Amino acid sequence: MSTDTAPAPDLNLGQVTVEYSPDGHTATLLIDRAAKLNALTLNLLDELAAAVREVASSKARLVIVRTAGEKVFCVGADINHFADLSAAGMWRDWIATGHRAFDALAGLRQPSIAVIDGLAFGGGLELALACDFRVIAAEARLALPETGLGTVPGWGGTKRATELIGRARAKELVLTRRQLTGDEAVSWGLATAVAPKAELQDAVARLAGELLAGAPLAVQLGKQLIDAAADGAPSRVLEALAGGLAAATDDLAEGVAAFRGKRTAQFTDN
């Protein structure tokens, strides 16, 4: 018997959805496998990569990454989905798929915020590290505990953690499996802001407002310049090119006019 009603998704497998704010300026990616503590699978990673591609081609100016549930952001990779993989399968499929998804997220031109409202362990922390900013609940915990399982972080955690907190603290995080509180994560430089869970959304809204207040193209150029500089690209060349591009935009003219008129700029992303 046919029906016009689509079957409900099986949340045991999980899904990734994209929702846009009414003005289209903010895209929210929601990873929903709450029944399994948002543990990541190949299917979820592929869906995340597809959602990132969608957002990359949209007019969104900001990306917010959230997960479903109340106590856990993401417990990381689903052990039941990789424990029996061969060495070739781990290399070819599991590690490569995670890198593709997280590298695509990190490479978005739009700035991104991970909202960490609970435990972020292993691949869950690596997911958050692929975002530009991390706003964390004081009650949450961050960790890269893979060595206690007999393996190592596999989705960019060693590189991104080292870039953020330095070699010695990255080693402490990975080798001792230390769990960081929200306050510790901020003091280490691993998170951007911390707030009690009841005030977490207000903290996210404040940061989002600051990011959205800038000229969209300039914000996106600034993000890419910083990432390129971190990879060793010469800023004297790239800043000249980016500055030339910005000079041709309506937003720069609006920004200058607003400054001279002592008013708030109204940017149009043109």
Q: What would the DSSP string read from start to end of 14-49?
A: -EEEEEE-TTS-EEEEEEE-GGGTT-B-HHHHHHHH
- Positive/negative CA dihedral, 230, 181, 157, 40: negative
Let me know if 146 is a catalytic residue.
yes
Phi and psi, residue 119, nearest 5°? -60, 135
- 66: three-class secondary structure by DSSP: strand
Q: Which residues contact 99 (CB under 8 A, 6 or more apart)?
A: 155, 156
Of 126, 163, 172, 239, the active-site residue reads: 126
Give all strands (DSSP E) within 96-183, no chain letters. 112-116, 119-121, 133-137, 141-143, 180-181
Of 47, 146, 163, 184, the active-site residue reads: 146
Residue with tokens 């870039």: 163
Cβ atoms of 31 and 68 closer than 8 Å: yes
Residue with tokens 């899904």: 15
Q: At what angle do helices 96-106 and 42-56 cross, to 10 degrees?
A: 30
Let me know if 172 is a catalytic residue.
no
The catalytic residues are 126, 146
